[in-house]
Amino acid sequence: GGREARDRRDLLLPGLHAINDRVGWISEGALDYLCRRLTVPPAEAYGVATFYAMFSVRPRPATVLHVCTDLACTAAGAQDLCAGIEAGLGPGSGVHVERGPCLGLCERAPAALAIRAGDPVRTAVAAPAAVREAVLAASAPDSAPEEPPAETAVPQAGQDGLVLLRRVGAVDPSSLDDYRAHGGYTALREAFALGPAGVIREVTDSGLVGRGGAAFPTGRKWQATASQPDRPHYVVCNADESEPGTFKDRVLMEGDPYALVEAMTIAAYAVGAHRGYLYLRGEYPRATSRMQHAVDQARARGLLGDDILGQGHSFDIEIRRGAGAYVCGEETALFNSIEGYRGEPRSKPPFPVEKGLFGKPTVENNVETLVNVLPILTMGAAAYAAIGTARSTGPKLFCVSGAVERPGVHELPFGATLGELLESAGVRDRLRAVLLGGAAGGFVRPDELDLPLTFEGTREAGTTLGSGVVMAFDDTVPLPRLLLRIAEFFRDESCGQCVPCRVGTVRQEEALRRIAERTGAAAAEDVALLREVGRAMRDASICGLGQTAWNAVESAIDRLGAYE
Ligand code: SF4
């Protein structure tokens, strides 16, 4: 093995996808063939294939129905849905039912996603009433491909004020001309007028920070990458959003795909990159096909490739599909995944701006972060920074799900309160708790709704905004069950590379299971154990997964009094 043999190694993941797409699983023979083509040792390729949840190295039926049993879906009755589907399908149905983590369809909970081998484009996304038809459509060989209704943001009052979502639902996502008619490519022209240093200055002055959860200043990251003498430089867009409860990047990519193409092109121009990778969740087939179409159209029309808009800048985008691994949302794990290795995080330093993808200077940004660059350039940094608060500038997308009337992606300026957001989403009665930031985030109480939705406001209140997840729970869902589900999720998704996380996530789940099964004095002991394990995970884990795996449980104990 070793990285010296990697000339074609980065084609391993696309190769595994190709086999899995065609047959539905990866046989030993197919894997051997791929290994010979790419000169990858079979044992290593096997290690990669088995790393990802969407691949199977054992035979299985051509149609796989992924049923989400994560937080929002569990709260909406996912277990009953699963049992109903299995009973309805019966043996020999040709459909394999797979329970799994968040599909990023939380606004339609309980959600399921059917993927049929041989025709991966023909997928169906289903809410409960439609699941049966969706399964049948996906498994019937001759049925017409049926695209489910486009997923859009929640229509909001004052649509005029929208910045990030203004084109979603208003523009034809397949048409470059329509994108241009809606203001597309004015930001790139502005970028060319400003020059790379001017673009970085605008982005810095705007106060934009990363929207994926880490909130790192984007301008500083771009500057650090641009100034590296080592070449080539890369741009990587992280579209692997898999934090349970997050689906905003999907809505952006499905509804306004050219915006991301344009934004990546601007980032590349600013940092001197000629190649970009868009790493997209494997569970997002529709976003993938729309982004692929947008990239192809942009290339055909001279907006990607050599000499873009006659300005002498060359840049192209390659789309890479993830295959079901939460940890690949961690930037260095994502690089390993693209390079054809197991998606395990690397230790930092070195940081990606110095040694990122293929060991080269890399700027890595989340979809929402990049899309913010367009209004920054068209309206100017000062006008952009006037939105929101002094320390959290700009508009923010919130993924609202759970016990609300209008689940979906809501756009508000930073500084709106949690109560205002829930009000606009139509919060139901008997609110018991709100989970902010997803499984890696924390719970707040119904009497904390005046919490300002800003980085500084949530930090001061001892919680987090994370990637913008806002999940409302009423008293119909037993809290211990939710906590157990969160623990299960982290135990499943831990890559196992470091001990505190590998062992800690198992211990945490065991303790929560014991507590869920009995109560009283016995719980106190387990709560103490949870705190000890949680501290170890937070302090000694290599990456954010282990470091945050105890956050939500801790907040449930301390803020909600979960086991009192
Ligand atoms: Fe892997 Fe967990 Fe360690 Fe991250 S913290 S590297 S997920 S074992």
Residue nearest to atom 1 of ligand 1 (CA): 495
Distance CA 407, CA 64 (A): 26
From 330, 495, 548, give the residue whose CB has the most ligand 1 atoms within 8 Å, as the site to mutate: 495
Q: Name the residue among 261, 262, 252, 272 with its Cα closest to residue 187.
A: 262
Among 337, 353, 385, residue at a domain's last position: 385
Same domain for 445 and 485, yes or no, is: no
Same domain for 182 and 326, yes or no, is: yes
Whether residue 497 has its Cβ less than 6 Å from ligand 1: yes
In a domain, 168, yes or no: yes
Same domain for 450 and 340, yes or no, is: no
| Ligand 1 geometric centre to CA of 496 (Å) | 6
Whether residue 545 has its Cβ less than 6 Å from ligand 1: yes
Distance CA 11, CA 46 (A): 14
| Ligand 1 geometric centre to CA of 332 (Å) | 12
| Ligand 1 geometric centre to CA of 542 (Å) | 6
| Ligand 1 geometric centre to CA of 364 (Å) | 20
| Ligand 1 geometric centre to CA of 385 (Å) | 36
In a domain, 55, yes or no: no
From 498, 507, 548, give the residue whose CB has the most ligand 1 atoms within 8 Å, as the site to mutate: 498
- Give residue 82's domain range: 63-139
Output the pLDDT for position 144: 37
Output the pLDDT for position 86: 78
| Ligand 1 geometric centre to CA of 439 (Å) | 15
Same domain for 16 and 95, yes or no, is: no
Among 425, 440, 474, residue at a domain's last position: 474
Q: Name the residue among 167, 64, 169 with its Cα closest to residue 378.
A: 167
Residue nearest to atom 5 of ligand 1 (CA): 546
Output the pLDDT for position 551: 96
Whether residue 164 has its Cβ less than 6 Å from ligand 1: no
Please give the number of the atom of ligand 1 that sits closest to the Cα of 543: 4
Helices (H) and strands (E) in the chain, counts: 22, 13
Please give the number of the atom of ligand 1 that sits closest to the Cα of 502: 8
Whether residue 345 has its Cβ less than 6 Å from ligand 1: yes
Same domain for 228 and 126, yes or no, is: no
| CATH number of the CATH domain containing 468 | 3.10.20.600
Whether residue 333 has its Cβ less than 6 Å from ligand 1: no
Same domain for 488 and 444, yes or no, is: no
| Ligand 1 geometric centre to CA of 543 (Å) | 5
Whether residue 549 has its Cβ less than 6 Å from ligand 1: no
Whether residue 502 has its Cβ less than 6 Å from ligand 1: yes
Helix axes 551-558, 521-540, angle to 10 degrees: 140
Distance CA 380, CA 424 (A): 29
| Ligand 1 geometric centre to CA of 201 (Å) | 35
User: Environment class of residue 306 by beta-carbon count within 10 Å: exposed (0-12), middle (13-18) or buried (19+)?
Assistant: exposed
| Ligand 1 geometric centre to CA of 502 (Å) | 7
Output the pLDDT for position 66: 86
Backbone angles phi, psi at 326, to 5 degrees: -55, -40
Same domain for 353 and 222, yes or no, is: yes
What b/e readout covers 97-123, taking b as 16+ CB neighbours within 10 angstroms? bbebbbbbbbbbbbbbbbbbbeebebb
Q: What dihedral do alpha carbons 548, 551, 552, 554 form, nearest 10°?
A: 150
Output the pLDDT for position 125: 57
Q: Name the residue among 373, 347, 286 with its Cα closest to residue 321.
A: 286
- The answer to whether residues 33 and 69 touch, using CB atoms and an 8 Å cutoff, is no
| CATH number of the CATH domain containing 521 | 1.20.1440.230
How many structural domains compose the chain?
5
Whether residue 486 has its Cβ less than 6 Å from ligand 1: no
Backbone angles phi, psi at 474, to 5 degrees: -100, -170
In a domain, 370, yes or no: yes
Residues across the chain: 564
In a domain, 372, yes or no: yes
From 240, 242, 542, give the residue whose CB has the most ligand 1 atoms within 8 Å, as the site to mutate: 542
Same domain for 364 and 316, yes or no, is: yes
ipTM > 0.95 (yes/no): yes
Same domain for 17 and 98, yes or no, is: no
| CATH number of the CATH domain containing 116 | 3.40.30.10
Output the pLDDT for position 82: 82
In a domain, 297, yes or no: yes
| CATH number of the CATH domain containing 333 | 3.40.50.11540
97: β partners: 65
Whether residue 337 has its Cβ less than 6 Å from ligand 1: no
Among 359, 385, 411, residue at a domain's last position: 385
In a domain, 17, yes or no: yes
Query: What's the order of all strands across the beta sheet hosting 469-474?
Result: 408-413, 395-402, 469-474, 431-436, 442-444
Whether residue 299 has its Cβ less than 6 Å from ligand 1: no
Contacts of 443 (CB under 8 A, 6+ apart): 433, 434, 435, 436, 552, 555, 556, 559, 560
Residue nearest to atom 4 of ligand 1 (CA): 543
Give the chain's residues under pLDDT 50: 1-6, 129, 139, 141-152, 155, 157-158
Structure tokens at 388: 């929101």
In a domain, 494, yes or no: yes
3-state secondary structure of 442: strand
What b/e readout covers 43-58, taking b as 16+ CB neighbours within 10 angstroms? ebbbebbebbbbbbbe
Q: What share of the chain is helix, strand, coil (3-state, %, to 5)?
A: 50, 15, 35
Whether residue 329 has its Cβ less than 6 Å from ligand 1: no
Output the pLDDT for position 131: 58
Please give the number of the atom of ligand 1 that sits closest to the Cα of 494: 7
Whether residue 204 has its Cβ less than 6 Å from ligand 1: no
Output the pLDDT for position 142: 45
Same domain for 506 and 412, yes or no, is: no
Output the pLDDT for position 432: 94
Same domain for 408 and 376, yes or no, is: no
| Ligand 1 geometric centre to CA of 50 (Å) | 17
Output the pLDDT for position 270: 98
Please give the number of the atom of ligand 1 that sits closest to the Cα of 327: 7
Whether residue 440 has its Cβ less than 6 Å from ligand 1: no
3-state secondary structure of 398: strand
- The answer to whether residues 116 and 122 touch, using CB atoms and an 8 Å cutoff, is yes
Same domain for 513 and 414, yes or no, is: no
| Ligand 1 geometric centre to CA of 483 (Å) | 20
Output the pLDDT for position 129: 47
Output the pLDDT for position 524: 87
Distance CA 254, CA 169 (A): 10
- The answer to whether residues 186 and 314 touch, using CB atoms and an 8 Å cutoff, is no
The whole-angstrom distance between residue 198's C-alpha and the CA centroid of its chain comes to 30
In a domain, 151, yes or no: no
User: Environment class of residue 245 by beta-carbon count within 10 Å: exposed (0-12), middle (13-18) or buried (19+)?
Assistant: buried
For the entire predicted model, the pTM comes to 0.94
